[in-house]
Amino acid sequence: MDIQKISGKKCSCGRVHQIPIKEVIIEENALDQAAELLKKTTNQRKIYLTLDQNTKKAAGAELKEKLLKADFEVVEILLKERKGDDHLVPEPEALYKIIENIEHDGYVLACGSGSINDLTAYAAHKMQLPYSIVATAPSMDGYASSVSSITVDGVKQTYNTTPPELIIADLNTLKAAPWKMIQSGLGDLLGKVSSLLEWKLGVAIFDEYFCQEAFEMVESLLNDLFNNSEKIIAREKEGIEILTKGLIYSGVSMMMVGSSRPASGTEHHISHFFDMYAGIFQKSVPTHGIKVGTASFISSNFYLKLLETDFNEFELEHNREGREKEIREAYLDKADGILELLDQRWEHDLITKEDLLNQEEQIKSNIREFKDYLESVEGILDDFGFFERKDVKNLNRDWLKKAVNHGFELRFRYTISTLLRQAGLLEKWGDHVLSKLDEKLSD
Ligand SMILES: [Zn+2]
Ligand SMILES: [Zn+2]
Interacting residues of 250 by C-beta distance below 8 A, sequence separation 6+: 141, 188, 189, 192, 218, 221, 262, 263
For ligand 1, the distance from its centroid to the CA atom of residue 140, given in whole angstroms, is: 6
- The dihedral region occupied by 10, where left means phi > 0, alpha psi between -120 and 50, and beta the remainder, is beta
pLDDT of 83 over the 80 cut: no
Q: How many CA atoms lie within 13 A of 337 on its CB side?
A: 8
For ligand 2, the distance from its centroid to the CA atom of residue 363, given in whole angstroms, is: 21
Quote the CA–CA distance of 107 and 130 in Å, as a whole number.
6
Closest ligand, as measured to the CA of 185: 1
Residue 210 is predicted with a pLDDT of: 98
Which one, of 214, 220, 197, lies nearest residue 362 by Cα?
Answer: 197
User: Taking the model in full, what pTM does it have?
Assistant: 0.96
**Which SS3 state, helix, strand or coil, does residue 440 take?**
helix
Quote the CA–CA distance of 335 and 41 in Å, as a whole number.
46
Which one, of 121, 95, 96, 125, lies nearest residue 110 by Cα?
Answer: 121
How far is the CA of 363 from the CAs of 36, 219, 425, in angstroms? 49, 17, 18
For ligand 2, the distance from its centroid to the CA atom of residue 205, given in whole angstroms, is: 20
Quote the CA–CA distance of 338 and 275 in Å, as a whole number.
15
Closest ligand, as measured to the CA of 253: 2
For ligand 1, the distance from its centroid to the CA atom of residue 323, given in whole angstroms, is: 26
The answer to whether the CB of 31 falls within 8 A of the CB of 102 is no
For ligand 1, the distance from its centroid to the CA atom of residue 331, given in whole angstroms, is: 22
Which phi and psi angles does 48 have, rounded to 5°?
Answer: -90, 115
For ligand 1, the distance from its centroid to the CA atom of residue 403, given in whole angstroms, is: 16
For ligand 2, the distance from its centroid to the CA atom of residue 162, given in whole angstroms, is: 21
% of the chain surpassing 70 pLDDT:
99
For ligand 2, the distance from its centroid to the CA atom of residue 406, given in whole angstroms, is: 32
Residue 290 is predicted with a pLDDT of: 98
For ligand 1, the distance from its centroid to the CA atom of residue 262, given in whole angstroms, is: 11
The answer to whether the CB of 119 falls within 8 A of the CB of 50 is yes
Quote the CA–CA distance of 291 and 285 in Å, as a whole number.
8
Average pLDDT, the chain: 95
Residue 84 is predicted with a pLDDT of: 65
Residue 4 is predicted with a pLDDT of: 84
pLDDT of 414 over the 90 cut: yes
Instruction: Kindly report, residue by residue over 362-388, the tens digit of the pLDDT.
Output: 999 999 999 999 999 999 999 999 999
Interacting residues of 354 by C-beta distance below 8 A, sequence separation 6+: none
Instruction: Kindly report, residue by residue over 273-321, the tens digit of the pLDDT.
Output: 999 999 899 898 999 999 999 999 999 999 999 999 999 999 999 999 9
For ligand 1, the distance from its centroid to the CA atom of residue 392, given in whole angstroms, is: 17
Closest ligand, as measured to the CA of 184: 1
| More reliable by pLDDT, 299 or 85 | 299
Give me the amino acid identity at 131. Answer: Y
Which residues have CB atoms below 5 A from the ion given as ligand 2?
11, 13, 211, 213
pLDDT of 88 over the 90 cut: no
How far is the CA of 198 from the CAs of 14, 36, 71, 208, 417, in angstroms? 21, 42, 49, 11, 9
Closest ligand, as measured to the CA of 143: 1
For ligand 1, the distance from its centroid to the CA atom of residue 289, given in whole angstroms, is: 6
Interacting residues of 328 by C-beta distance below 8 A, sequence separation 6+: 335, 339
Instruction: Kindly report, residue by residue over 179-236, the tens digit of the pLDDT.
Output: 999 999 999 999 999 999 999 999 999 999 999 999 999 999 999 999 999 999 999 9
Q: How many other CB atoms sit within 10 Å of the CB of residue 334?
A: 16
Closest ligand, as measured to the CA of 11: 2
Please state which of the ranges 74-83, 128-137, 366-375 shows the lowest mean pLDDT.
74-83
